[in-house]
A and B are shown apart, each in its own frame.
Chain A
Amino acid sequence: MNTKSIRFRIIILFSSILIIAISVIFTSFYIFTNKIIYQEVDKNLLLHIHNLDQFNNVSGMVYIRFDKGGNIINSSIDLNASSIVFNNLFKIAQKNKSDIFLNQNIGDTPMRFLIKPTLINNNLTEVLLVAHPIEAIQKSLKSLMYTLAIIFIIFILPIILGAILFTQKIIKPISSIINKMDDITTENLEMRLSSPKSNDEIEKLTLTFNSLLSRLHQSFKRERQFIEDIAHELKTPIATLKGGIELALSKQRSNIEYKKTLEETLIDTDRISKLVNNLLELAWEGMSGNTVNNKKFNLSDLLVELSNVAVKLGLQKNIKVNTDIKPNINIYGDDNKISRALLNLVDNAIKYTPNNKSVSFSLGQVNKMAIIVIKDEGVGIPKKDLKHVFERFHRGSKTSKTIGSGLGLAISEGIIKTHNGRIIINSKIGKGTMIKVILPIL
């Protein structure tokens, strides 16, 4: 078994706590019993010493009286056999000069002695020894100890087993989650853990993991879709390029035809390189704002420049450009990127506005926010498309034949977002579209 696993650690912890607890209980039980029994014996001894006459015929009881020199005055038993023992006890009494209880064998019989010296003016006058046999008590205590020890040993195995079972019960839902998590790969991210409905941490863990999976799944799907979209966007111009070249090479052709083919291939390569550039830009933008080149710049000037560009772009379609730009609004950020983002929006406005209509720009300030509004009188965007316009490669159902990479708005949104701004889009079919860009003025 893995000694670092939580399972193992819980088993060890659980069983050692139980074993220590039981051994503490048993030991204190033994010590306590021991103490109580001896206290009882000592109480009896004290009682006897005061009423020696009354108790001197209690069976097994011994009493001995010494004078101050250690000579025995009287005794209830024949002392010859153990005189050394008694002399030692007398010496203890001489030394301590107070009541002492102690265990002492006489022959083979364990006895509990009370040594009581009698003092007059701190001088030893006589010593009285009273003793009870405690063989039965000692035997009982011993067997109590053995019993407790055996019970303790018998307990150990069930405790460990219990710990294992208990741990398994705790760990089981975790293990099953681990097993299920193991089965989930990038290929089957739609799989979910079944909630144990236990209203505990495990259920919480399951729910948290499931929501993490959902988010992962979403982002995988988005990435996959993005890659598929890139592939699609690249494959079509490449197919056109390849088809055109193959066709031109399939037989002898006139110079004019070859020239025409080369011109066609140029259109495709331009389209491919534009797409690649946009993709790179989008990828940079996706890298969480670390590329923002922060400096103060004049947004009003930028807007004036852009409106001039718009006038040029609209020239061919005779589109009128109205401007209302409040001067000297400064913001922090990367002016090149902001310019790129706004240019995309302006370009779209011109692109989707029919001939002889108008486009308008305005820049204003509300509560530390710069507000740019770009309005066109174009075809408008259907409601169902409106929420998708900032998605990469989204192109509205009505605009499928207008040339574009489908990345412009996504890039614009990315740039505005890295500058802590927002884009709001409103549109009415047939009436036109209004895009509002809100950027913070710091």
Chain B
Amino acid sequence: MRLLIIEDEIRLNNIIKKGLVEDGFAVDQAYDGEEGQYLASSENYDLIILDLMLPKINGIEICTNLRKKGNKTPIIILTAKSTTEDKIVGLDSGADDYITKPFSFKELKSRAHALIRRSLKDPSPVLEVDGLSLNPLSHVVIRNKKKIKLTPKEFAILELLMRNKSEVITRTKIIEHVWDYNFDGMSNIVDVLIVTLRKKINNGYKNKLIKTVHGVGYTI
């Protein structure tokens, strides 16, 4: 899952990024409103974490502008403004959730996962395909009661495929959702990871998961 943090406090931005990267997200950072709005409208994110008091363009404006353009990415507002009126303005501008600073990191993570779940219209917290289950929050992958150890990137690809099960996911889409903005080219990295992923989840089972759709991408 790929995520954008728009927060002008550089150190806080870095801490959030670090936490979410450790959780398997691909994270992009923006330090002011202009940069944030540009990235949010040009890239394809699964979630945006947005501060309100930003230089150049404030968070409310960004939110309103994105929704006006038809951008449906879930947005969590993360701000020090904590009055009811502030929350109302924030949510009414098109945000999906509102967290006030100081916040609990675990709560932020849970809310992020909940929003992604809702936006993909999959209400269950654990994803399941043919006896293979994946828990995005606890990062546990189980096939027939056996735990499978995956690297963060493998996990992210598997999560993306399972979230869109029986749909064909292109290589580009995988790159867009699993790597951040700083990833450059090397499209065969996807193929390499798919190979290792297949090995790990299919080892010892007759039913081979993850099929290749030639010239297009992969599906589960």
| Complex Cα–Cα for A268 and B55 (A) | 21
Q: Which of B13-21, B196-204, B212-220 contacts A (4 or more CB under 8 A)?
A: B13-21
What A residues does B142 contact at CB under 8 A?
Answer: none
Q: A239 touching B102 by the CB < 8 A rule? A: yes
Q: A400 touching B102 by the CB < 8 A rule? A: no
Q: Which of A228, A235, A264, A397 contacts B102 (CB 8 A)?
A: A235
Q: A238 touching B102 by the CB < 8 A rule? A: yes
Q: Which of A236, A244, A400 contacts B80 (CB 8 A)?
A: A236
| Complex Cα–Cα for A231 and B81 (A) | 8
Tell me whether A222 is interfacial, beta carbon within 8 Å: no
Q: How far is the CB of A112 from chain B (nearest CB, A)?
A: 94
Q: A242 touching B22 by the CB < 8 A rule? A: no
Within 8 A of A (CB), among B66-92: 80-83
- Binary flags per residue of A263-287, CB closer than 8 Å to B gives 1, else 0: 0100110000000000000000000
Q: Which of A231, A238, A247, A397 contacts B82 (CB 8 A)?
A: A231
Q: A236 touching B12 by the CB < 8 A rule? A: yes
Tell me whether B9 is interfacial, beta carbon within 8 Å: yes
Tell me whether B145 is interfacial, beta carbon within 8 Å: no
Q: A400 touching B81 by the CB < 8 A rule? A: no
| Complex Cα–Cα for A168 and B100 (A) | 55
Q: B12 touching A235 by the CB < 8 A rule? A: no
- Nearest A residue to B78 via CB reads A239
Q: A231 touching B18 by the CB < 8 A rule? A: no
- Nearest A residue to B108 via CB reads A243
Q: B106 touching A267 by the CB < 8 A rule? A: no
What B residues does A239 contact at CB under 8 A?
Answer: 12, 80, 101-103
Q: Which of A235, A236, A243, A400 contacts B105 (CB 8 A)?
A: A243
What B residues does A243 contact at CB under 8 A?
Answer: 12, 15-16, 19, 102-103, 105
Q: A236 touching B101 by the CB < 8 A rule? A: yes
Within 8 A of B (CB), among A210-243: 228, 231-232, 235-236, 238-243
Q: B12 touching A240 by the CB < 8 A rule? A: yes
Q: Which of A238, A247, A251 contacts B15 (CB 8 A)?
A: A247
- Binary flags per residue of B27-68, CB closer than 8 Å to A gives 1, else 0: 000011000000000000000000001011000000000000
Tell me whether A187 is interfacial, beta carbon within 8 Å: no
| Complex Cα–Cα for A236 and B101 (A) | 7
Q: Which of B9, B82, B104 contacts A246 (CB 8 A)?
A: B104
Tell me whether B206 is interfacial, beta carbon within 8 Å: no
Tell me whether A250 is interfacial, beta carbon within 8 Å: yes
Q: A240 touching B80 by the CB < 8 A rule? A: no
Q: A267 touching B105 by the CB < 8 A rule? A: no
What A residues does B22 contact at CB under 8 A?
Answer: 247, 250-251
What A residues does B9 contact at CB under 8 A?
Answer: 236, 240
Tell me whether B159 is interfacial, beta carbon within 8 Å: no
Within 8 A of B (CB), among A125-172: none
Chain A contact-residue range equals 20 to 34
Q: How far is the CB of B98 from chain A (nearest CB, A)?
A: 14
Q: B101 touching A244 by the CB < 8 A rule? A: no
Q: B55 touching A397 by the CB < 8 A rule? A: yes
Q: B82 touching A244 by the CB < 8 A rule? A: no
| Complex Cα–Cα for A243 and B104 (A) | 7
- Nearest B residue to A395 via CB reads B55
Q: How far is the CB of A229 from chain B (nearest CB, A)?
A: 10
| Complex Cα–Cα for A246 and B109 (A) | 12
Q: B106 touching A246 by the CB < 8 A rule? A: yes
Tell me whether B11 is interfacial, beta carbon within 8 Å: yes
What A residues does B16 contact at CB under 8 A?
Answer: 243
| Complex Cα–Cα for A250 and B105 (A) | 9
Q: B11 touching A400 by the CB < 8 A rule? A: no
- Nearest B residue to A398 via CB reads B55
Q: Which of A240, A251, A397 contacts B11 (CB 8 A)?
A: A240
Tell me whether B180 is interfacial, beta carbon within 8 Å: no
What B residues does A401 contact at CB under 8 A?
Answer: 8, 10, 31, 55
| Complex Cα–Cα for A231 and B16 (A) | 21
What A residues does B8 contact at CB under 8 A?
Answer: 400-401
- Nearest A residue to B8 via CB reads A400
Q: B19 touching A267 by the CB < 8 A rule? A: no
What B residues does A400 contact at CB under 8 A?
Answer: 8, 32, 55
| Complex Cα–Cα for A397 and B19 (A) | 30
Q: B80 touching A232 by the CB < 8 A rule? A: yes
Of the candidates A239, A246, A268, the one having the most CB atoms from chain B within 10 angstroms of its own CB is: A239
- Nearest A residue to B54 via CB reads A400
What A residues does B12 contact at CB under 8 A?
Answer: 236, 239-240, 243
What B residues does A244 contact at CB under 8 A?
Answer: 11, 15
Chain A interfacial positions (CB closer than 8 Å to B): 228, 231-232, 235-236, 238-244, 246-247, 250-251, 264, 267-268, 397, 400-401
Q: With A232-B81, A239-B102, A243-B16 given, name 13 new contacts (CB 8 A).
A: A235-B100, A236-B12, A238-B101, A239-B12, A243-B12, A243-B105, A246-B106, A250-B19, A250-B22, A264-B11, A400-B8, A400-B55, A401-B55
Q: List 12 A-B contacts (CB under 8 A).
A: A235-B82, A236-B101, A239-B12, A240-B9, A242-B104, A243-B15, A243-B16, A247-B15, A250-B19, A397-B55, A400-B8, A401-B31
